[in-house]
Amino acid sequence: MGCVRFAERYLRSDPPTHDEIRAATAEVRRILGALSVPLHEVRAVVGVAGTVTTITAHALALTEYDPARINGARLPVAAVTEAAEDLVSMERADRAQLGFMHPGRVDVIGAGALIWSLILEHVNDVTGEAAGSCVASEHDILDGIALSIGEQRTAVQR
């Protein structure tokens, strides 16, 4: 899955039609249903990078991108879903006017928002809402990999 791929394949209208959203939703749910990841063990969800931070900025009703307010923000899944639904249903011109929106995300944020909200919904369904909120991180997975490698090296040197 990916926001560019889903925007190009499914959400082609401005704004996307109900049929386009329904088809994209069905495909995301199909992919999530085929996962062999032990999601029942999840107790916390942390989302990283641009799509998640942009949706978080919208959910926080920011007028401009503010990393200090976004990083570490914990939001109920319902707030993320509401922000995602709003972004998916907006016209391109309206998304472009959002002060926190990076110009490179304007065309694909609707698809990314749909995917992120459905991932959270799926995790909540599997866990019985044990992970009823999510945390946004300004840092991406590469930061985490670098940190864990550094920690492993430090442990070996001891």
The two structure tokens encoding residue 100: 């926190």
Q: Among all chains, which residue has been given the structure tokens 């909120």?
A: 133
Rounded CA-CA distance 98/60 in Å is 13
Flag whether pLDDT at 131 surpasses 90: no
Q: What is the pLDDT of residues 146-158, one digit of tens each?
A: 556 655 555 555 5
CA angle 46/133/116 to nearest 5° reads: 60
Where is pLDDT greater, at 87 or 126? 87
User: Which residues are registered as beta bridge partners of 74?
Assistant: 135
Rounded CA-CA distance 156/158 in Å is 5
Domain limits for position 42: 3-157
The residue ranges of DSSP E strands in 49-117, in sequence order, are 74-76
Q: What is the pLDDT of residues 39-94, one digit of tens each?
A: 888 888 889 989 999 999 999 999 999 999 999 999 999 999 999 999 999 999 99
Phi first, then psi: give them for residue 37, nearest 5 degrees.
-105, 135
Rounded mean pLDDT, 115-129: 90
Q: Are 122 and 81 a contacting pair, CB within 8 Å?
A: no
> Which run of H or of E encompasses 48?
strand 45-48
- State the angle between helix axes of 77-89 and 109-127 in degrees (0 to 180), rounded to the nearest 10: 150
Domain count, the chain: 1
User: Which residues are registered as beta bridge partners of 133?
Assistant: 76
Rounded CA-CA distance 143/114 in Å is 25
CATH code of the domain covering residue 98:
3.30.420.150
Split at pLDDT 50, 70, 90, the class of 113 is very high
